[in-house]
Structure 1
């Protein structure tokens, strides 16, 4: 069993949603001159997104797990987002100055139509799908989150990928003036944050670019305005505030593997049979169950591929999942 003991945060210390929405909502219009060549001009006018904005969604194609959803308060108050600090409450405390709207990101590399995409305009192109996923982070704690997003495969196809593309690389934002974890002498890692997937993983129907949760646009601490969600992998694969998506032939670097290759591999598939060097991953603690943020919640067995084995196990047929961790 893991020696890691998350802190208890009383419910009384969690700020009500209405309070922080009044304080944190950032209204913004479209970026002037933002380009999106794949869309006709008639679709170019989109309302400016803002933090905590209601989103219209449709159900996702894969049934949701039967697990109880983690509360909105717990999901948005206990986060890993080192750009704002290494403490689990740091992203909530220190992300107020971050400005996620307006936002553009680049799609490039081995594609025939490289382009800069405006996220507001992107949402006029695709219906947003409401999906509930189990998500696990690297310290054997888990959440069940109703994400709102777009299949990553649909976004990749905008750029017309070339046949030689075997991987998809992601790069996060660098804004030290707005992100206290990116400035000073004690930064936890080199920036930007980097991640990557195999092309077949990126194209799987479960893999999405999330732009919201609980029917609203992402809050700053949750990875606004867009983040990767790959629910059968550990949480550190879910790169936040994405600025670049690049298709490559070579396996891309990812930040945690660069920092600690003996602890974090490229694949990061949830596998209870592969312990982290400093704790077991055979069990997990579901945040918010048992009273308070953690309360007396019991540990439960970790499922292979986070419970999505029927959907994704075929991606790794013939691979040694202990060697390719």
Structure 2
């Protein structure tokens, strides 16, 4: 994948004007508590695909804590309080405790990364994230040798998140990765997109992004990270293990029981747009295939 400059990226006059003003001042400063004035740099991992618009990215969301419809998060997430914010790091680590987000961001390297995100329903989008490698935070906490998996939990705040009053899932929302997946340089914790603070409906103020897996693995609004020895329970696998496996790698050879995964449509292209071929590991095969050497990915789906 070649590097791509932000001048080649899309669409957003306000964002571009803001970017130019900042560049003229000689700094790519990112305002607000979620950015803590840390400089962000372009990443070698960015795709050269054209990103979706900010409006598409921020108005088509699965965030069931705010409702089941794709537009519900944008309608209801405004009530979410995201500052101050801390992430509890627990389990098999040398330095467990509550880590304030502002403090985290003072010690990590923020990058601009354009990643494809694949939705399990057969849609995809390309998002210009601002984030840092999860590995940096885990190393700061000190991973103990017995740790084999990383478990994540989303905020539960019924007074601000109307969706958690329903019983569609067993709250809090839970996700997990194998430790080597979590430590891979493609795996990031994102705090913004399009050079701006993370919209609340997209998982503010901090969310996981794992670009070779289906979108539901990229848990939003994280409040707890636990290092554990055994494979953790994850929300959709708990709800329907036949349809949602723990690994959830993008794999066109493994169909969802109710639809094919062999092709997809880009968000914003329209329902009748030509479908495009789904790529193994969402196009990141060269970077991550070695993680699954010897595994049967039709069993470990």
Q: 1:113 Cα deviation (Å)?
A: 0.9
Q: Trace 1:297-312 onto structure 2 (pairs within 5 A).
A: 297-312=273-288
Contact 2:155 2:221 in 1 (8 A): yes
RMSD: 2.0
* Distance in 2 between residues matched to 1:317 and 1:99, nearest whole Å: 42
* Distance in 2 between residues matched to 1:110 and 1:256, nearest whole Å: 25
* Distance in 1 between residues matched to 2:184 and 2:273, nearest whole Å: 32
1:97 to 75, 79, 82: 79
1:222 alignment counterpart: 202
Contact 1:169 1:245 in 2 (8 A): yes
Structure-2 change in CA distance of 1:189 and 1:268 (3 Å): same
1:49 alignment counterpart: 33
* Pair 1:207-2:181 in alignment: no
Q: 1:295 Cα deviation (Å)?
A: 6.0
* Distance in 2 between residues matched to 1:257 and 1:54, nearest whole Å: 38
2:127 to 126, 135, 145: 145
Q: 1:57 Cα deviation (Å)?
A: 1.3
* Distance in 2 between residues matched to 1:221 and 1:244, nearest whole Å: 19
Point out where structure 1 has 5 or more consecutive residues left out of the alignment: 1-15, 19-46
* Pair 1:58-2:58 in alignment: no
1:320 to 283, 290, 296: 296
* Pair 1:248-2:207 in alignment: no
Contact 1:54 1:217 in 2 (8 A): no
Question: Helix, strand or coil for the counterpart of 1:271?
Answer: coil
Q: After superposition, what is the alpha-carbon deviation per residue over 1:227-256, rounded to whole angstroms, capped at 9, x for unaligned?
A: 010000000001100000100000001000
1:109 to 60, 78, 91: 91
1:179 alignment counterpart: 161
Question: Helix, strand or coil for the counterpart of 1:116?
Answer: strand
* Distance in 1 between residues matched to 2:154 and 2:190, nearest whole Å: 14
- The 4+ residue runs of structure 1 with deviation greater than 6 A are none
Q: Trace 1:184-203 onto structure 2 (pairs within 5 A).
A: 186-203=166-183
Contact 1:86 1:188 in 2 (8 A): no
Contact 2:155 2:223 in 1 (8 A): yes
Q: 1:297 Cα deviation (Å)?
A: 2.5
Point out where structure 2 has 5 or more consecutive residues left out of the alignment: 1-11, 15-30
* Distance in 1 between residues matched to 2:69 and 2:168, nearest whole Å: 11
Structure-2 change in CA distance of 1:217 and 1:54 (3 Å): farther
* Distance in 2 between residues matched to 1:146 and 1:170, nearest whole Å: 23
Q: After superposition, what is the alpha-carbon deviation per residue over 1:32-78, rounded to whole angstroms, capped at 9, x for unaligned?
A: xxxxxxxxxxxxxxx85269x9974101242x222111111000000
Structure-2 change in CA distance of 1:279 and 1:55 (3 Å): farther
1:280 alignment counterpart: 260
* Distance in 2 between residues matched to 1:94 and 1:302, nearest whole Å: 32
Normalised TM-score (structure 1): 0.81
Question: Helix, strand or coil for the counterpart of 1:95?
Answer: helix
Structure-2 change in CA distance of 1:94 and 1:17 (3 Å): farther
* Distance in 2 between residues matched to 1:65 and 1:178, nearest whole Å: 35
Contact 2:34 2:191 in 1 (8 A): no
Question: Helix, strand or coil for the counterpart of 2:233?
Answer: coil
